[in-house]
């Protein structure tokens, strides 16, 4: 007999609070970076709200990935070294490294694969968004945080669902089918609840909810289409999560909905994969 558990919104948010705090810092950082007059000291203060994230930012800023050179020992020095242009990528790499602290047992995804998949998705979303004329910082955050719901559902399953009732490709068409049968809610809906509670921008929350493009209405959300096309780049890199691979086909309809053409998509793919190859060592 299979096991399942029904989760309330309060239970979902309670599990989300056990995640590292870095995503909430990222929300504040994205907001600050939208402001023309934001100073580097304000950004440093935002990063310091999460001491663990701050320590990772300092460590990563000392790596060859983000310049290396003379050693820095504080958040202020790290922020000054990379500047505004690379700041979100620096904090994003640090967030991915700290956020994925364990494998997703019930999804059959190990921590290393998930970290790399999310970082690649963030960079791919940023690259596609730049050609689509969509805010690249919001797109980057969407690619990085899109699996929050999966992380929370995996935590909720521990001790409540039998290990043999985890996701299996032979039995389900994708993660969403398995999630519905086990929890009565999908991971994208869970991610939406969490990001809304954490006060992420509404356009980002909506795009993550719709980015698997499950119906024609989803194509009206250009950011959702950008996040989906980024999944195609992740798949090309061999980093797509098994239960989502069928969602990442690159079609003329998706390209048109996002507002880019095939040549621009290929340019974005090359750009994102080159950046990922440079930055993936920052995850470890």
Residues 6+ apart with CB under 8 A from 79: 40, 43, 44, 47, 87
Place of tokens 């290393």: 112
pLDDT in tens, 134-165: 999 899 999 999 999 999 999 999 888 888 89
C-alpha span between 197 and 257 (Å, rounded): 29
Say whether 31 sits in a helix, a strand or coil: helix
Q: Report the Cα–Cα distance between both ends of the chain, in Å, rounded.
A: 40
C-alpha span between 156 and 5 (Å, rounded): 9
In the chain, which residues fall in CATH 1.10.3210.10?
1-19+111-278
Hey, what's the torsion of the CAs at 195, 110, 242, 278, to 10 degrees? Answer: 80
Partners of 29 in the β-ladder: none
pLDDT in tens, 194-244: 999 888 889 999 999 999 999 999 999 999 999 999 999 999 999 999 999
pLDDT in tens, 10-65: 999 898 888 877 787 887 887 787 776 788 888 889 889 888 888 888 888 888 77
CATH of domain 1-19+111-278: 1.10.3210.10
């Amino acid at each position: 007999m299979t096991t399942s558990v029904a989760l309330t919104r309060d239970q979902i948010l309670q599990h989300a609070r056990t995640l590292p705090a870095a995503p909430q810092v990222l929300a504040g950082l994205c907001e600050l970076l939208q402001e023309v007059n934001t100073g580097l000291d304000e950004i440093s203060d935002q990063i310091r709200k999460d001491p663990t994230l701050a320590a990772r930012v300092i460590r990563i800023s000392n790596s060859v990935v983000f310049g290396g050179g003379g050693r820095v020992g504080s958040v202020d020095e790290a922020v000054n070294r990379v500047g505004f242009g690379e700041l979100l990528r620096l904090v994003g790499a640090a967030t991915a490294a700290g956020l994925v602290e364990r494998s997703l047992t019930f999804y059959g995804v190990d921590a290393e694969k998930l970290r790399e998949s999310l970082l690649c998705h963030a960079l791919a979303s940023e690259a596609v968004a730049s050609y689509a004329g969509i805010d690249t910082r919001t797109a980057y955050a969407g690619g990085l945080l899109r699996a929050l719901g999966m992380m929370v559902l995996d935590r909720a399953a521990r001790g409540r669902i039998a290990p043999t009732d985890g996701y299996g490709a032979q039995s389900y068409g994708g993660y969403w089918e398995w999630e519905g049968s086990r929890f009565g809610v999908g991971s994208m809906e869970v991610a939406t609840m969490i990001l809304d509670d954490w006060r992420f921008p509404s356009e980002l929350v909506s795009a993550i909810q719709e980015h698997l493009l499950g119906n024609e209405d989803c194509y009206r959300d250009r950011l959702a289409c950008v996040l989906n096309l980024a999944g195609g780049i992740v798949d090309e890199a061999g980093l797509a999560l098994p239960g989502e691979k069928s969602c990442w086909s690159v079609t003329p309809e998706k390209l048109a909905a996002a507002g880019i053409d095939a040549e621009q998509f290929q340019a974005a793919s090359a750009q994102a994969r080159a950046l990922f190859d440079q930055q993936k060592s920052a995850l470890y």
